[in-house]
A and B are shown apart, each in its own frame.
Chain A
């Protein structure tokens, strides 16, 4: 894989490409161990640094609930980059490959322990965490001694809960950065092997401090002091009468072993802290020959190897890499009297004792995306794939739909307009036909009128018609499509008694209707049909005695018939009638 470039030197797009490359080419998105602390990993390499060498190396593996320790060859502190690479390859091949997904390298620093005083602060205890961050980011601002060269040193805050005279008390535990490069090489090996290697460097005395609640079974009645003895130095931890940590002091072993005046130093410090007659506990923690480390005047030796909670074959610090778990489970630890003190509760809550003194630099940490960003990239990738799949399915569906639509004859139809036009022409022809049909209807015929007269007066011997007048006239009404018609018949003549009776019968609605109906049936002329709703038929008979009646006087009809009559018939065909006259001209 190409070397990574710090994102501050890249454009925003290049930063994204680098993140995507890491997401694609490494297991960072799939293996959460990249972002866990070494103590959380199932495989751990514990290295104990004392004096000028790594004096003990053990491989810890956890499978299920069982923890297995195995001693491994310790790397040299002087190892070159390639040497570390080879060492990692050996460990990887023998202990990690196909067995574990990650490795935690835990360096227990028992080669040095220094204390730097902090500048005076008046902050409340709640500000410890902020102060811890400031101490790591810019120690020069926080350390009291401004002459200290901070670049090669690592500072971590350690609060004193037992100093109740001031609202805030603490010191900066100081170690050098000389092992930083070795841990960095381990991390680089992990990067190159695409195998999470997480590192941490813990201060061995601080780790042991966390084991005191387990080792001191009963809460001391009076102030006490613990002395953690290593080859090159001892660390004295003073606790007040409430078992709260009041002070830490480092005592150099200039001539090997605990200095002869160490008990005086301890007593002097106790007096300065106003701790009356403290109990002194001695813990010999060196992994080298313990010459002169087991003797301290007036001290009670705490034999941690005899404690049932710890194994005697491993350094105590290895077994304390996770304070809340090491030696006893959390519930059991809480039952220890010392664990209830503010000091140890604070240690457990804020992890003051397990601070990483050689954590990766800010620049190194910024080189890689965080776990959340990796998840976002993975979610984004899944989202994009899902989106592309949805898009592809949609396009497929759209294509199928488009083909299906375009196969439909309806899609290619463009004739509706011309079809309508053709129909309009045909309809015009039909309308023209209807119009002419209406114009040519048999609405007024002379021969039909003559046949009607014959039907009204069937017996020529009983009646003589002298005049027939028939008119058909339109009723002009504006703005109507059809024009109504009024047809009048006036029949004048002479009749005898029988004919007069017939005329009288005719002079009724039924009589005239029957006569018209009969004439209509005989002639086939629909204009005489009397009983359409659009028609109105009225008859009026005016009959009188014929004053010239005298059969002896002449042979003319005026003498032969006793009665004379005038029969008036009026028929109205309304505009709704089929025979109404079209107002408009035929098209």
Chain B
């Protein structure tokens, strides 16, 4: 080999250009790796998004179905509990006059006993006393509890009045409250 040409030819004729190509290929491969990683991430995100969209459609359908029910439930709390109880019982009393149904006591407390006391959900307790026939009382309770599902019965005590054909009923309700 010609000692004057050996190093320049090897350095610039072989090593340097191949090095440049290798570096450019390296940069390209690095870019491709970055592109593929970003693409994989975005694709994964997109798959999640599509899955989320499908879930969302299901959730939206569920919410759409639940919405009127929920709205109805929330409307239960638009009127004060005591007023609504008295309103319903007043209607019952019209249907069952006299001794068939009579409300003898009504008391509202913020006691923490009963079903409401165990939950963090706000509630009040209602203590009610009635006199009436079995039929009158059951119908009254049916009306009351049907119109006000937020009432949870804590205690019921029905006794027959001595020598009389009427019953006395003591009830304690937990009434759920909306925050």
Contacts and interface: CB of A to CB of B under 8 A. Distances in A.
B159 to A, nearest CB: 5
Contacts, number: 236
12 contacts: A16-B13, A384-B17, A394-B25, A415-B49, A416-B52, A426-B56, A426-B63, A430-B63, A446-B141, A468-B159, A581-B115, A585-B120
Interface in A433-451: 433, 436, 439-440, 442-447, 449-451
A398 B118 contact: no
Given A394-B28, A470-B155, A387 B70 contact: no
B118 A581 contact: yes
Nearest to B134: A450
B95 interface: no
B28 A369 contact: no
Contacts of B48: 416, 420
B107 to A, nearest CB: 17
A15 interface: yes
Given A433-B70, A582-B119, A470 B153 contact: yes
Residues of A in contact with B, size category: 35 or more
B94 interface: no
A556 B164 CA distance: 10
A470 B172 CA distance: 10
B21 A410 contact: no
Interface string A379-416: 11101100110110011001001100100111101011
Interface in B58-91: 59-60, 62-63, 66, 69-70, 73
Contact of B35 (A368, A405, A413, A447): A405
Nearest to A442: B149
B21 A387 contact: yes
A20 interface: yes
A383 B115 contact: no
Contact of A483 (B7, B119, B154): B119
A388 B22 CA distance: 10
Contacts of B52: 416, 419-420, 423
A13 B8 contact: yes
A446 B46 CA distance: 54
Contacts of B160: 464-467
B49 A419 contact: yes
A370 B150 CA distance: 103
Interface in A1-53: 6-8, 12-13, 15-16, 19-20
B109 to A, nearest CB: 16
B176 interface: yes
A561 to B, nearest CB: 13
B9 interface: yes
A381 B13 CA distance: 7
Contact of A390 (B21, B49, B156): B21
B4 A7 contact: yes
Majority secondary structure of chain A interface residues (helix, strand, loop or mixed): helix
A20 B12 CA distance: 10
Interface stretch (A193-201, A204-212, A282-290, A472-480): A472-480
B159 A466 contact: yes
B159 A467 contact: yes
Which among A409, A419, A451 has the greatest number of chain B C-beta atoms within 10 A? Answer: A419
B60 to A, nearest CB: 6
A342 interface: no
Interface in B1-23: 1-14, 17-18, 21-22
A291 B13 CA distance: 61
Closest 4 CB pairs of A and B: A474-B118, A410-B46, A7-B4, A387-B21
Nearest to A554: B163
Nearest to A584: B120
Interface of B: 1-14, 17-18, 21-22, 24-25, 28, 31-32, 35, 39, 42-43, 45-49, 52-53, 55-56, 59-60, 62-63, 66, 69-70, 73, 114-115, 117-122, 134, 137-139, 141-142, 145, 149-150, 152-160, 163, 169, 171, 176, 179
Contact of B45 (A13, A416, A429, A556): A416
Majority secondary structure of chain B interface residues (helix, strand, loop or mixed): helix
Interface string A240-272: 000000000000000000000000000000000
A370 B21 contact: no
Given A413-B45, A423-B59, A450 B158 contact: yes
Contact of A586 (B13, B115, B121): B121
Contacts of B21: 384, 387-388, 390-391
Interface of A: 6-8, 12-13, 15-16, 19-20, 365-366, 368-370, 372-373, 376-377, 379-381, 383-384, 387-388, 390-391, 394-395, 398, 401-402, 405, 408-411, 413, 415-416, 419-420, 422-423, 426-427, 429-430, 432-433, 436, 439-440, 442-447, 449-451, 464-476, 483, 485, 556, 581-586
B53 to A, nearest CB: 6
Contact of A373 (B2, B62, B156): B2
Contacts of A387: 17-18, 21-22, 25
Which among B9, B55, B115, B150 has the greatest number of chain A C-beta atoms within 10 A? Answer: B9
B28 A391 contact: yes
A365 B152 CA distance: 114
B6 A474 contact: no
Contacts of B115: 443-444, 472-474, 485, 581
Contact of B158 (A20, A383, A391, A468): A468
Nearest to B138: A450
Contact of A449 (B10, B55, B154, B156): B156
A450 B5 contact: no
Contact of A16 (B11, B35, B157, B176): B11
A383 B18 contact: yes
Contacts of B142: 447
A586 B171 CA distance: 26
Contact of A472 (B13, B32, B152, B169): B152
A380 B17 contact: yes
Contacts of A422: 56
A404 to B, nearest CB: 9
Contacts of B152: 443-444, 472
A473 B69 CA distance: 28
A16 B28 contact: no
Contacts of B141: 445-447, 450
B56 A391 contact: no
Contact of B176 (A376, A377, A398, A440): A440
